[in-house]
């Protein structure tokens, strides 16, 4: 049986010579690979038809983390803390969210990935939690190692996430300054931080439709975080077997 092909959305970068590149942090690809999938990096700036043709060949999509979504996409205004907007990446990911759902293929979102899924389906974001979300705990912990467990999340009992993380609460890392303000009507919340911020969402119409606000790819020493990728990849394998 062939391994499932899983697309990873990419970030626009520059290499040491200043040349433009596309890439992802290595732990995303490694987590997919360790769970039995083959990670395929999706270039930015592909036309929609090419994205659709690529999706036809993939068994699932991982929407990775990264910089901020343009607030205009969710009807908001610029904010001084919003940075590194990439309209090309926003377009590619929003198109792929819609196309992946329409194709009925598994999707996993991480950090920005959760946010782009929510925005694509009609939700909105806090542009900066410390400024706009009353009572917010510290969610932006880029001053700490990426695998630092900084706060708990409470997992909803009846959810896909509760089948992956069987305890009602788990500790997570936290590397974001934005979060869900208005949750899209097609999404169900399945985890919350102590201040009430949505930390995980699910799309019940899909075989596997889950997004988390933390970074499980950086926490692969923990069985529950490995299991999150394993269940995702297994769902992609099912799609692969049916095609």
The residues annotated with a catalytic role in the active site are 111, 215, 217
Nearest 5 degrees, angle CA 143-CA 23-CA 94?
Answer: 95
Contact yes or no for 4/237 (Cβ under 8 A): yes
Report phi then psi at 204, rounded to 5: -65, -20
Q: Helix, strand, or coil here: 27?
A: helix
Other Cβ atoms within 10 Å of 31 Cβ, number? 26
Q: Helix, strand, or coil here: 163?
A: helix
The single residue listed with the structure tokens 């194709």 is 103
Rounded (10°) CA dihedral 50, 56, 57, 63: 80
């Amino acid at each position: 049986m062939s391994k499932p092909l899983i697309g990873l959305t990419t970030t626009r970068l520059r290499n040491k010579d200043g040349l433009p590149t596309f890439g992802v942090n290595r732990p995303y690809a490694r987590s997919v690979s360790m769970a039995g999938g083959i990670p395929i990096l999706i270039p930015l700036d592909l036309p929609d038809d090419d994205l659709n043709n690529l999706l036809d060949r993939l068994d699932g999509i991982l929407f990775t983390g990264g910089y901020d979504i343009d607030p205009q996409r969710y009807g908001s205004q610029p904010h001084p803390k919003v940075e590194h907007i990439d309209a090309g990446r926003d377009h590619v990911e929003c198109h792929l969210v819609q196309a992946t759902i329409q194709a009925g293929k598994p999707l996993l979102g991480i950090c920005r990935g959760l946010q782009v899924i929510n925005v694509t389906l009609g939700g909105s974001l806090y542009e900066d939690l410390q400024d706009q979300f009353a009572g917010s705990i510290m969610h932006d912990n880029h001053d700490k190692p990426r695998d630092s467990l900084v706060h708990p999340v409470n997992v909803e009992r009846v959810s896909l996430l509760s089948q992956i993380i069987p305890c009602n609460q788990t500790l997570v890392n936290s590397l974001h300054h934005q979060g869900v303000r208005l949750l899209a009507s097609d999404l169900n919340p399945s985890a919350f931080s102590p201040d009430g911020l949505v930390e995980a969402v699910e799309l019940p119409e899909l075989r596997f439709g889950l997004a988390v606000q933390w970074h499980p790819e950086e926490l692969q020493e923990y069985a529950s975080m490995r299991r999150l990728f394993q269940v995702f990849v297994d769902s992609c394998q099912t799609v692969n077997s049916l095609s």
